[in-house]
A and B are shown apart, each in its own frame.
Chain A
Amino acid sequence: MQESKRYWQPEAETASRDQITAWQSERLVSTVKRVYENVAPYRDRMDAAGVKPEDVKGIDDLRKLPFTTKQDLRDFYPFGLFAVPMEQIARLHASSGTTGKQIVVGYTQKDLDTWGDIVARQLTAIGLSPRDKVHISYGFGLFTGGLGIFEGARRMGATIIPVSSGNTERQITILQDFEPDCIACTPSYAMYIAETMEKMGVDAKKLPLRCGVFGAEPWTEEMRRQIEEKLDIKAYDIYGLTEIMGPGVAYECECQAGMHVNEDHFIIEVLDTETGLPVKDGEKGEIVFSCITKEAFPILRYRTKDIGAVTHEKCPCGRTFVRMSKPMGRTDDMLIIRGVNVFPSQIETVLLKTGHSPNYQIEVDRVNNLDTIAVRVEMNEATFSDTVSEISQRERALAEAIKSLIGVAVKVVLVSPGSIERSTGKAKRVIDHRKLH
């Protein structure tokens, strides 16, 4: 029997819109003041924009504040945007994938507790309790996925199975023997597990597993349907990003109709990509978040480059937080390959550094539910060799160099000069065969 209303923090999750606005205004004002005083780069930027903390008296003044971008996080790597001294930082996390300049974030103990609360809201909303076991297949490490779900499960008292990623056969053995009630991993990995189970002759319907929390990469309603059918579970969407907190910035309730944004902690804006002005309710735009309760890393007006929409329509679950859609695309060319953020420009950097032609194309596909990435690059005279073994060696060395930078294995395919299409405008560097949106 399904209970229809399950809240971890009902006073927040069902607060009136007026109360939410009041919280947001109050917390924004204090965050702006704290950030101005403690984070030099923000102070400099606000000074340059002619904005003083006193000018921000409530959420209507949010638009006065300058934006923060991923580049800012790179420019002030690693700790330049932290708002508290290191001795108050209880944990560091970093974005997945790249070696070199990762995006680094910090958390005080209170931030970790907040993170636990918001993820606990997700787990509670989908019917989990301390009686239940949560199987976490997100990687544990600097990546926020594994430890983020961990914080939430710990907070609401479920039994945690910290499997982390990889070794699919063992994951399935654990699903059979430990009998978790919920699994947390990327949607494509869930599909991969399902198909491996089929191959191993394991019947998913016999497992007690009844739900899953999936995120870290875009996935369609069609994929949700397939996961639910193959694993015989309800599949829920969780949204988050390292820069804002990790998983749990927004969460799907039992209605599976959009993700509730934890508005008592994050202010969401959906802005027209050209004008930077707010779009109407339900319209698409770039999603921008401001953190109003984080102590260590309170980012303001962070441009996620995700495109999405938000609705204020009432949700049957009774929650009053707005719902955001699944991300519908990006404003930049970032790809998510097996949960890892990859920028074509990273691949371009390696190509040029190793003397390869700048004419390349990246082809992304999903084969047997695993993302594959092939880099087609034109042969040129600098990299041509008279023997197959030398050319093959170069191909392998290039693939190694790319993998070492982006954190994902690629296949390198050498093609004839002129076979990569040229364009007068921005070259189409990525062909993505996956249907993600």
Chain B
Amino acid sequence: MAIKQVSIFVENKPGTLVSITDAIGAAGVDIRAMSIADTQDFGILRLIVSDAEKTKQAVREIGCVVSITEVVAVAVSDRPGALNDVMHVLSENGINIEYMYAFLTSRGHNAYVVLRVADNDKAAKILASRGVALVSEEDISKL
């Protein structure tokens, strides 16, 4: 079980980010979560949005390079140690994390963690077998 994440190439030049948020806002898309990976010359903006395809079109139209990546999202209780439990499950099963980031919502008592791993299906199976709550596209849309 995986969800769609939009990844956008962002050159390290003033004005680039704002033109992207302009376009996404204009398309009526809601950003649920975001993170930016940065290097000296460029960044990769990663977004969990209310409508991945619409976002992709909108940023393509302003000339950005964009791709959609499948990532695993889990819900963890918002208490100390909860994330650690999930990390243990992954580590004990040899699942490497490429990157991760988290977000909260105004509703509910959970935090949500987005993970990029090499094999989404394998990771999902293992997490589910250990009682970790996986988040689906439908769940995201209801948040």
Residues of chain A at the chain B interface (Cβ within 8 Å): 379-381, 384-388, 391-392, 413-419
CB of B41 within 8 A of CB of A384, answer no
CB of A379 within 8 A of CB of B44, answer no
- Residues in B with CB closer than 8 Å to A391 are 39, 42, 44
- Residues in A with CB closer than 8 Å to B9 are 379, 384, 414, 416
Q: How far is the CB of A391 from chain B (nearest CB, A)?
A: 7
CA A392 – CA B40 in complex, angstroms?
11
CB of A386 within 8 A of CB of B7, answer yes
- Residues in B with CB closer than 8 Å to A385 are 67
Known pairs A384-B9, A386-B116, A387-B116; A417 contacts B44 (CB<8 A): no
Give me the 5 closest cross-chain CB pairs, A-B, nearest first.
A416-B11, A418-B63, A386-B69, A386-B7, A379-B65
CA A214 – CA B128 in complex, angstroms?
72
CA A381 – CA B68 in complex, angstroms?
11
Residues of chain B at the chain A interface (Cβ within 8 Å): 5, 7, 9-11, 13, 16, 37-39, 41-42, 44, 46, 63-67, 69, 98-99, 116
- Residues in B with CB closer than 8 Å to A418 are 63
- Is chain B's interface secondary structure helix, strand, loop, or mixed overall? strand
CA A192 – CA B20 in complex, angstroms?
45
11 A-B pairs (CB sep. < 8 Å): A379-B42, A380-B65, A384-B9, A386-B44, A386-B69, A391-B39, A414-B42, A416-B11, A416-B13, A417-B64, A418-B63
Q: How far is the CB of A396 from chain B (nearest CB, A)?
A: 12
CB of A386 within 8 A of CB of B46, answer yes
CB of A417 within 8 A of CB of B63, answer yes
CA A386 – CA B64 in complex, angstroms?
14
CA A380 – CA B60 in complex, angstroms?
11
Q: How far is the CB of B19 from chain A (nearest CB, A)?
A: 10
Among B42, B69, B98, max chain A CB count under 10 A is at B42
CA A391 – CA B13 in complex, angstroms?
18
**Which single member of B44, B63, B64, B65 contacts A387 (CB below 8 Å)?**
B44
Q: How far is the CB of B62 from chain A (nearest CB, A)?
A: 9
**Which single member of B5, B44, B66 contacts A388 (CB below 8 Å)?**
B44
- Residues in A with CB closer than 8 Å to B16 are 416
CA A413 – CA B12 in complex, angstroms?
11
Smallest CB-CB separation from A417: which chain B residue? B63
Among A381, A415, A416, A418, max chain B CB count under 10 A is at A416
- Residues in B with CB closer than 8 Å to A379 are 9, 11, 42, 65
CB of B11 within 8 A of CB of A415, answer yes
